[in-house]
A and B are shown apart, each in its own frame.
Chain A
Amino acid sequence: MDQQLYGYGLYIISLLTMGGIYAILTLGLNVQWGFTGLFNAGIAGFFGIGAYTAAILTTSPHTSHLGGFELPYVVAAIAAMLISGIIAFGVGKVCLKLRSDYLAIATIGIAEIFRLILKNETDITNGPRGISQIPKPFENLPEPWNQLAFLGLVLGTLLLVYVMLEVARKSPWGRVMTAIRDNETSARAAGKNVETFRMEGFVIGCMIMALAGAFMAHYLKFIDPNATDPLLATFIVFVMLVVGGSANNKGAILGAFVIWTLWSASEILTTQLPSELAIRTAYIRIFIIGLVLQFFLQKFPQGILPETRPSSPGKNKS
């Protein structure tokens, strides 16, 4: 029974770690969609860029892919964010003037192109075989301390990103963003350069997504183009944000943990069934997540934690 409790403990640590990484990802989406009103359906692409950059920069030399730099984790993470930011800038220049659903289609297309590049440029990425033996912070510690320490790193980074985004949200910059999202014409009339603000929101969001990707690469110690799969890397993040509450950073984090727990724990229920049924019910998990999403879209489009607007300085609190 001791072993079982210890096992549950490890499982909860893994839930929180994945949940934490997804929370960082959802915060990135929140910057783009919640605050700036940009429907980026290409999350998986930027996530993948971050993951591969971190992998390439931290692994030892290997014949199958570009690597051997063996840089420290922090350097690799920052590099991942920078590269993602630069690519986001390029993509933004092309796509940001598009209306919402056009932007969705365009960004999905871009994510697909990234995936094909990752698959086909085998000299750099080892193609579909992926990059393995990615180093992981604290991995030399004995169990469970290695998992706990890594979790601490993820949660610490999550906190840092959250604080920075909250500061940004309450700042004048943040207010302009929501103003643009809600009424672009008025914002323009007030003299704000809408394109620049949109670009900033897009780039920052993509940089945060890349950071999440880097963490994922270290956590899994392996990355391949399947990591940019639309289901687990894009759609589920939208569900997390809608359910948690878009335009609310706490909501984004909450949604990430709730939906990831729901997703992971639902498999425990299906594995109680005999194998023959368990295989078929694997598809039902996806159905349930979709149904949860529809439910929220119809009944609680604001999500669990609705948006809270910062009050203007000098105004009475209503």
Chain B
Amino acid sequence: MKIVRKLALSACVAAMFATAAHADAIKVGSAGGVTGPIAELVATIIKGRDLARDQINAAGGLLNGDTLEMVVGDSACDPKASVDAVGKLVNVEQVVGIVGPSCSGATNAAVQAVTIPAGVVVLSDSATAPSVTELKDNDTVFRVAPSDAYQGLAIAKLISKAGIKKVAMTYSNDDYNAGIAAVFEREFKAMGGEVTANQAHEPKKASYRSELQTLTAGGPEAIAIFAYYGSSGITIIKNSLENGLFSKFYAADGMFDQSVIDQIGADNLKGKISITQASSDTGDSSYQAFADAFKATGADPAAPYAAHGYDATFMMALAIEKAGSADRAKIKDGLRAISNGTGEIVRPGEWAKAKKLIADGTAINYEGASGSADFDENGDVSGVFAVNVVGDDGKWTKALLK
């Protein structure tokens, strides 16, 4: 019996010594829901972060040639696990800053319980709840993902502009989708539109036929879907198409993934579906630079928040470079300095160029794959959105929303 306890303790001690081994790497936390409800999304987001890391290390690394090391912490999209994982990143791994966590709930808990008291900067790539804006955080909490408030509005505008007055809506009952749905309903009604039916649904169910049938009441012209593609989105579209219930779909970026085309078929979707996504407003070159590199690693650049993961990591590294040292207290100023709308533009993949500019003392402005990433006073970014439709080539085609 005592053996188990001794084993556990010695494992801990061994681990602690092991963490001291990487002496000339600069550690940044990579927190995310590796296990949990959005595990498949998070796996790709982490790949996005790692792409940034690899490009940075290949182009000279941080400061005086130190390697950037991204230390993974599993927040499991759960407040308890998140506080534990982020606590370890801050205290045991002694990270300089943290990219992530993925879920708004996990972020809320981790920053309030751990990083705000500790004064460590957190840059989330996918937490979108408005509640994060309201935190009293001593300016340590940032995000590259626009708050739901923006995306909900963008979709409402998109549908209104298409001349559609009556819409049914359904949302997956989780923090992300419930949030956007609420904003959408409010904004769409404010524009004079009518929401004929609004129903939550539990993710991961086998069939949504009955819900969808009920949602057709009132004669809606389209359906707005706020869900993750994997846990309910694809099933909903399949059920709708197979049974002739809906033929026009609008969705937020949780739905945006290659598997939607793969599993449903491009011909079945052409002209029928529009998915919004946060985007860079300096045209496509930022996104293209990221997409080409990401595709080369075998991953899908369209995956939700993969581009944000890349941007967040790149920006954290820029902040460290700008701060001139791996000092936690200087990161927040560094972050604001490298992306505030003024300065010479730096894009994804241009680490060597950025390093030189910072060394020369020139101001830089990072324009990311996911958007301009300019922080406001709360550490939020505003949203410029694009809409994705299935083009003639059977692939996702993107156009900026005006």
* Residues of chain A at the chain B interface (Cβ within 8 Å): 3-4, 7-11, 14, 18, 64, 116, 119-120, 122, 127-130, 132-133, 136, 139, 143, 146-147, 216, 219-224, 226-227, 229, 232, 243, 258, 261-262, 264-272, 275-276, 278-279, 282-283, 286, 292, 300, 304-305
The minimal Cβ–Cβ distance linking B114 to chain A, given in whole angstroms, is 8
Interface CB pairs A-B, < 8 A, 22: A4-B20, A7-B91, A8-B92, A11-B87, A11-B88, A119-B173, A120-B200, A129-B104, A132-B134, A133-B131, A136-B113, A146-B117, A216-B80, A220-B79, A220-B83, A226-B78, A226-B79, A232-B80, A261-B12, A265-B8, A272-B19, A276-B50
Residue numbers in A under 8 Å from B117 (CB-CB): 139, 143, 146-147
The minimal Cβ–Cβ distance linking B20 to chain A, given in whole angstroms, is 7
Residue numbers in B under 8 Å from A227 (CB-CB): 78-80
Can you name the residue of chain A whose Cβ is closest to the Cβ of B172? A128
Cα distance, A272 to B5, chains bound together (Å) = 22
Cα distance, A64 to B179, chains bound together (Å) = 11
Cα distance, A119 to B74, chains bound together (Å) = 23
B258 within 8 A of A: no
CB distance B178 to A128 under 8 Å? yes
Cα distance, A221 to B87, chains bound together (Å) = 14
CB distance A300 to B78 under 8 Å? no
Cα distance, A120 to B173, chains bound together (Å) = 8
CB distance A127 to B15 under 8 Å? no
Can you name the residue of chain B whose Cβ is closest to the Cβ of A226? B78
Can you name the residue of chain A whose Cβ is closest to the Cβ of B5? A258
How many A-B contacts are there with CB distance less than 8 Å? 164
CB distance A132 to B16 under 8 Å? no
CB distance A267 to B35 under 8 Å? no
Interface of B is mostly: helix
Given contacts A8-B92, A11-B87, A275-B70, contact A130 B175 (CB under 8 A): yes
Cα distance, A139 to B78, chains bound together (Å) = 22
Q: How many residues of B contact A (CB 8 A)?
A: 62
Give the one of A119, A133, A136, A226 with max B CB within 10 A.
A226
Cα distance, A258 to B92, chains bound together (Å) = 19
Given contacts A129-B131, A279-B43, contact A272 B105 (CB under 8 A): no
Cα distance, A64 to B14, chains bound together (Å) = 46
Residue numbers in B under 8 Å from A3 (CB-CB): 94
B26 within 8 A of A: no
CB distance B19 to A268 under 8 Å? yes
Can you name the residue of chain A whose Cβ is closest to the Cβ of B90? A7
The minimal Cβ–Cβ distance linking B249 to chain A, given in whole angstroms, is 23
Cα distance, A190 to B392, chains bound together (Å) = 82
CB distance A18 to B78 under 8 Å? no
* Interface pairs A-B: 4 shortest CB-CB: A221-B112, A7-B91, A222-B109, A268-B15
Can you name the residue of chain B whose Cβ is closest to the Cβ of A21? B80
CB distance B4 to A275 under 8 Å? no
Residue numbers in A under 8 Å from B77 (CB-CB): 226
Which of B1, B14, B87, B174 lies in contact with A128, CB distance below 8 A? B174
Residue numbers in A under 8 Å from B81 (CB-CB): 232
Cα distance, A316 to B152, chains bound together (Å) = 75
Given contacts A219-B113, A222-B109, A304-B4, contact A14 B87 (CB under 8 A): yes
B67 within 8 A of A: no
CB distance B173 to A7 under 8 Å? no
Cα distance, A216 to B113, chains bound together (Å) = 11
Residue numbers in A under 8 Å from B80 (CB-CB): 18, 216, 220, 227, 232
Given contacts A10-B91, A258-B5, contact A268 B175 (CB under 8 A): no
Given contacts A146-B117, A224-B79, A226-B78, contact A258 B91 (CB under 8 A): no
Digitize B261-304: 1 where CB-to-A-CB distance is under 8 Å, 0 elsewhere: 00000000000000000000000000000000000000000000
B369 within 8 A of A: no
B30 within 8 A of A: yes
B34 within 8 A of A: yes
The minimal Cβ–Cβ distance linking B1 to chain A, given in whole angstroms, is 4
Can you name the residue of chain A whose Cβ is closest to the Cβ of B118? A143
Residue numbers in A under 8 Å from B104 (CB-CB): 129
Residue numbers in B under 8 Å from A128 (CB-CB): 105, 173-175, 178
CB distance B12 to A279 under 8 Å? no
Can you name the residue of chain A whose Cβ is closest to the Cβ of B74? A282
CB distance B72 to A264 under 8 Å? no
B71 within 8 A of A: yes
Cα distance, A302 to B79, chains bound together (Å) = 32
Residue numbers in A under 8 Å from B108 (CB-CB): 130, 132, 221-222
Residue numbers in A under 8 Å from B43 (CB-CB): 279
CB distance A272 to B91 under 8 Å? no
CB distance B11 to A269 under 8 Å? yes
CB distance B72 to A278 under 8 Å? yes
The minimal Cβ–Cβ distance linking B338 to chain A, given in whole angstroms, is 24
Digitize B313-333: 1 where CB-to-A-CB distance is under 8 Å, 0 elsewhere: 000000000000000000000
Residue numbers in B under 8 Å from A305 (CB-CB): 1
Which of A10, A122, A133 lies in contact with B112, CB distance below 8 A? A133
Give the one of A10, A265, A276, A286 with max B CB within 10 A.
A265
The minimal Cβ–Cβ distance linking B247 to chain A, given in whole angstroms, is 29
Give the one of A139, A143, A282, A300 with max B CB within 10 A.
A282
CB distance A272 to B15 under 8 Å? yes
Given contacts A268-B88, A276-B50, contact A304 B34 (CB under 8 A): no
Residue numbers in A under 8 Å from B12 (CB-CB): 261, 265, 268
Cα distance, A116 to B94, chains bound together (Å) = 38
Residue numbers in B under 8 Å from A4 (CB-CB): 20, 94
